[in-house]
């Protein structure tokens, strides 16, 4: 199907707008240049409404001209001419859709559509126009053939389960998988009817049992298949939730574990308290050293040494008596002298010796007071100048060094405490343990659903095998009954047809999807200029779960929504749409609004080239900035071009007065390189200020 011409009347900002579209196979691009707020998205919506009716409109969408007063009657009309390839050549059609409104969308009646075949003789109106349009370009393919750069990103952005649903739905619609599934259901119904006929005409107890078993299986397979699809969705959702929970947990841990940091803070405060006690103890010990005898000995060491020498000299001269009186008195109390002689007073010698000792005691007691004092000083102060005293300086230095060490550690712990408190303030109030529990919960649920998915797949496989066995038994038995021979042959043919269609469906779901994947990969790598051997992005594919994924070096899987830049994301989704339309064999226009946003240079021009080379008809709604850098490829590939201008942009953006203040879009024939009085505009606000100053 190829669009030839379109005309728009009273569709929001579009009124009196008429376009021709390129159908040249070599120059198949139609360029509609328009700035923001100049009708690009409106025209895309109008084309879809014209072909598919109100179901193609966003909810609450108003078609009315935007400058009409509420309640004022209005007519909206879209006329599209298109052609399709028939058996005898191209056939041309004219579609007219219109609606009358009194106000907003709430007061809008349903639209009416008319379809005419354009012949040499004129226009032939066709009955049931919706059915014809559905055959020419099925409504389920609308979002594939008519899209915009932002909406196409939904194939790779958002929840993974939503991505999978959109990719799968697009593939199933484009490949006609739903038609095959409907065909299988139809053939199954025929088989059921044939078995019932056989039962009535030639059935027996054995065939009835087999029929009942087949019927049970036929009823069980759809239910289990539906449950299997639901379970697959649950697996996808739980996988995404598990991954998100893990990501949240890792983010929380990377920011800091509040519980662990709180424990660290408590331990750090305890260490600081213990150091505070040690610091106080060390300060006390250091202070005590200033009031001890050891300090006095340290300060008067030279004086004590000199005094000790004098006292020793006096002792050597005998001027300091030995403290012999107590010793002599002690001997008198015993019967023998120190020398071992007897001190027994009953003997002459003993009496003589006792008297001598008594005389010594008396003479010693008669010593003068000064000598007694000197003697006391010698014996009592001997410890001050004899032996090596403990070093007060070393003790004081040790106490000082310990105090300094404690102060340094105390400072470090204080800084650690402040750092931990700062981290705690920055950490969101997230319960890490709760995140761990959430992740474990999702992991358990995921394991359970994966097991259930495996069980259901196994059950369905067993049921299908049982059904095949019962069908074979039925055919064998029915073939032996002559009365039901014709029905048996018809049933055998129906079963064979179903088997062929089922195999075709399975092939479409695997081989054809792989073909779409491979073609998408080729387009994508070409668009972004990636070399398979050296680039950071090495390939893209559609997984068996209908997810579009990208791989980097070392086969590292990348998340398109996270790991690709904006230009590559758009290139990837456009590649998917092109591959899908190409492999499906469905011929239709690729109409894309703002496909080159966020692109520049090589990627931008290559996207245009690849899209043109792999589309039967390519319609691009482009802004002026999107066109920059693509002029050469558009010169080569574009056959038709036009420009849309919004007059309300004067004088801030447009250079010339358009001569109207109506809320309608103006059209001119300017292509992607040329300008005229209607569409000439300032390149920037700076230029506008300079030229209007």
Mean pLDDT lowest among 27-31, 75-79, 265-269, 389-393: 389-393
Max avg pLDDT among 14-23, 196-205, 224-233, 552-561: 14-23
Residue at 198 is within a domain: no
Residues 250 and 380 in one domain: no
Residue at 616 is within a domain: yes
- Backbone φ and ψ of 5, nearest 5°: -155, 150
Residues 217 and 297 in one domain: no
Residues 536 and 616 in one domain: yes
Helix (H) or strand (E) holding 394: helix 392-426
Residues 515 and 395 in one domain: no
Mean pLDDT lowest among 151-155, 279-283, 320-324, 657-661: 320-324
Residues 134 and 239 in one domain: no
Alpha-helical segments (H) within 57-176: 129-136, 142-145, 149-152, 160-175
Residues 463 and 394 in one domain: no
Range 583-604 average pLDDT: 89
Residue at 158 is within a domain: no
Q: What is residue 36's three-state secondary structure?
A: coil
Please tell me the total count of domains within the chain: 4
Residues 468 and 534 in one domain: no
Distance CA 551, CA 557 (A): 4
| CATH number of the CATH domain containing 250 | 1.10.287
Range 300-310 average pLDDT: 71
pLDDT category of residue 375 using cuts at 50, 70 and 90 = low
Measure the CA dihedral 667/61/5/149, to 10°: 80
**Is it the case that residue 374 has pLDDT exceeding 90?**
no
Distance CA 21, CA 16 (A): 16
Helices first, then strands: H and E counts in the chain: 24, 15
Q: What is residue 128's three-state secondary structure?
A: coil
Residues 688 and 571 in one domain: yes
**Is it the case that residue 125 has pLDDT exceeding 60?**
yes
**Is it the case that residue 553 has pLDDT exceeding 60?**
yes
Range 293-309 average pLDDT: 68
Residue at 534 is within a domain: yes
Residues 296 and 246 in one domain: no
Q: Of 390 and 405, which is predicted with more confidence?
A: 405
Distance CA 352, CA 337 (A): 12
**Is it the case that residue 368 has pLDDT exceeding 60?**
no
Q: Which domain holds residue 306?
A: 286-414
Domain end point (choices 115, 141, 167): 141
DSSP string, 85-112: EETTEEEEEEEEEEEEESSSGGGPPPPE
Residue at 424 is within a domain: no
pLDDT at 377: 64
pLDDT at 26: 92
Residues 578 and 688 in one domain: yes
Residues 532 and 659 in one domain: yes
Q: What is residue 547's three-state secondary structure?
A: coil
pLDDT category of residue 372 using cuts at 50, 70 and 90 = low
The conformation of residue 540, written as its DSSP 8-state character, comes to E
Residue 294's CB is within 10 A of a number of other CB atoms, namely 16
pLDDT at 258: 67
pLDDT category of residue 612 using cuts at 50, 70 and 90 = very high
Q: Of 454 and 276, which is predicted with more confidence?
A: 454
pLDDT at 638: 93
Domain end point (choices 126, 141, 156): 141
Range 305-330 average pLDDT: 66
Mean pLDDT lowest among 18-27, 245-254, 418-427, 583-592: 418-427
pLDDT at 408: 85
Residue at 487 is within a domain: no
**Is it the case that residue 671 has pLDDT exceeding 90?**
yes
| CATH number of the CATH domain containing 99 | 3.40.50.300
Residues 105 and 232 in one domain: no
Q: Of 524 and 354, which is predicted with more confidence?
A: 524
pLDDT at 656: 94
Residue at 300 is within a domain: yes
pLDDT at 321: 56
**Is it the case that residue 627 has pLDDT exceeding 80?**
yes
pLDDT at 601: 87
Domain end point (choices 356, 391, 414): 414
**Is it the case that residue 647 has pLDDT exceeding 80?**
yes
Residue at 146 is within a domain: no
For 474-505, how does the pLDDT look when each residue is reduced to its tens digit (9 = 90+)? 888 877 776 677 887 888 888 889 889 888 88
List the one residue out of 291, 268, 194, 318 whose CA is nearest residue 422: 268
Q: Which residues pair with 265 in a beta bridge?
A: none
Percentage of the chain beyond pLDDT 70 is 87
For 453-471, how does the pLDDT look when each residue is reduced to its tens digit (9 = 90+)? 999 999 999 998 998 898 8
- C-alpha triplet 159, 255, 563: angle, nearest 5°: 35
pLDDT category of residue 257 using cuts at 50, 70 and 90 = low
């Amino acid at each position: 199907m190829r669009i030839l011409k379109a005309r728009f009347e009273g569709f929001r900002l579009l009124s009196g707008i008429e376009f021709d579209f390129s159908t040249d196979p070599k120059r198949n691009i139609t360029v509609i240049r328009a700035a923001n707020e100049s009708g690009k998205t409106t025209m895309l919506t109008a084309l879809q409404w014209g072909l598919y009716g109100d179901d193609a409109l966003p909810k609450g969408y108003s078609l009315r001209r935007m400058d009409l007063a509420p309640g004022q009657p209005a007519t909206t009309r879209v006329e599209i001419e298109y052609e399709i390839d028939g058996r005898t050549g191209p056939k041309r059609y004219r579609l007219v859709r219109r609606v009358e409104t009194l106000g907003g969308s709430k007061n809008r009646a349903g639209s009416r559509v008319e379809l005419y075949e354009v012949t040499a003789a004129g226009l032939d109106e066709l009955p049931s126009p919706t059915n014809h349009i559905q055959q020419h370009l099925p409504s389920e393919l609308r979002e594939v053939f008519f899209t915009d750069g932002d909406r196409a990103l939904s194939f790779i952005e958002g929840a993974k389960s939503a991505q999978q649903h959109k990719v799968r739905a697009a593939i199933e619609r484009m490949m006609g998988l739903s038609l095959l599934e409907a065909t299988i259901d139809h053939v199954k119904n025929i088989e059921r009817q044939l078995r019932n006929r056989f039962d009535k005409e030639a059935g027996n107890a054995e065939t009835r049992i087999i029929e009942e078993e087949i019927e049970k299986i036929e009823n069980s397979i759809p239910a289990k298949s539906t449950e299997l699809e639901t379970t697959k969705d649950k697996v996808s959702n739980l996988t995404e939730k598990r991954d998100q929970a893990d990501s949240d947990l890792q983010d929380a841990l990377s920011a800091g574990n509040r519980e662990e940091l709180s424990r660290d803070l408590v331990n750090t405060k305890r260490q600081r308290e213990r150091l505070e006690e040690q610091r106080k103890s060390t300060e006390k010990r250091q202070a005590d050293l200033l009031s001890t005898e050891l300090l006095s000995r340290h300060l008067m060491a030279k004086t004590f040494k000199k005094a000790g020498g004098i006292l020793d000299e006096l002792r050597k001269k005998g001027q300091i008596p030995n403290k012999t009186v107590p010793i002599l008195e002690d001997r008198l109390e015993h019967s023998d002298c120190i020398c071992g002689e007897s001190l027994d007073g009953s003997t002459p010698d003993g009496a003589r010796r006792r008297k001598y000792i008594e005389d010594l005691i008396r003479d010693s007691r008669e010593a003068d007071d000064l000598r007694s004092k000197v003697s006391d000083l010698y014996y009592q102060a001997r410890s001050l100048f004899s032996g090596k005293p403990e070093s007060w300086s070393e003790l004081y230095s040790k106490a000082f060094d310990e105090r300094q060490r404690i102060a340094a550690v105390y400072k470090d712990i204080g800084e650690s405490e402040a750092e931990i408190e700062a981290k705690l303030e920055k950490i969101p109030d997230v319960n890490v343990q709760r995140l761990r529990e959430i992740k474990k919960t999702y992991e358990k649920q995921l394991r359970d659903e994966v097991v259930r998915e495996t069980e259901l797949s196994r059950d369905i496989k067993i049921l299908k095998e049982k059904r095949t066995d019962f069908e074979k038994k039925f055919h064998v038995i029915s073939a032996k009954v002559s009365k039901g021979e014709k029905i048996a042959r018809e049933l055998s043919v129906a079963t064979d047809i179903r088997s062929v269609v089922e195999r075709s469906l399975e092939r479409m779901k695997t081989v054809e999807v792989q073909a779409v994947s491979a073609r998408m990969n080729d387009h994508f790598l070409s668009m972004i200029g990636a070399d398979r051997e050296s680039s950071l992005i090495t390939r893209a594919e559609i997984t068996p779960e209908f997810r579009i994924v990208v791989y980097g070096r070392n086969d590292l899987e990348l998340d398109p929504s996270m790991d690709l830049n904006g230009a590559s994301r758009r290139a990837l989704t456009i590649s998917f749409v092109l591959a899908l339309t190409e492999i499906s064999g469905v011929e239709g226009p690729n109409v894309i609004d703002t496909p080159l946003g966020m692109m520049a240079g090589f990627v931008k021009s290559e996207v245009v080239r690849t899209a043109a080379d792999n589309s039967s008809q390519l319609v691009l709604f482009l802004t002026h900035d999107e066109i920059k850098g693509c002029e050469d490829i558009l010169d080569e590939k574009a056959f038709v071009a036009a420009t849309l201008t919004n007059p309300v942009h004067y004088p801030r953006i447009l250079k010339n007065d358009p001569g109207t203040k109506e809320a309608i879009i103006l059209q001119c024939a300017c292509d992607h390189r040329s300008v005229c009085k209607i569409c000439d505009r300032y390149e920037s606000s700076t230029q506008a200020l300079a030229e209007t100053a």
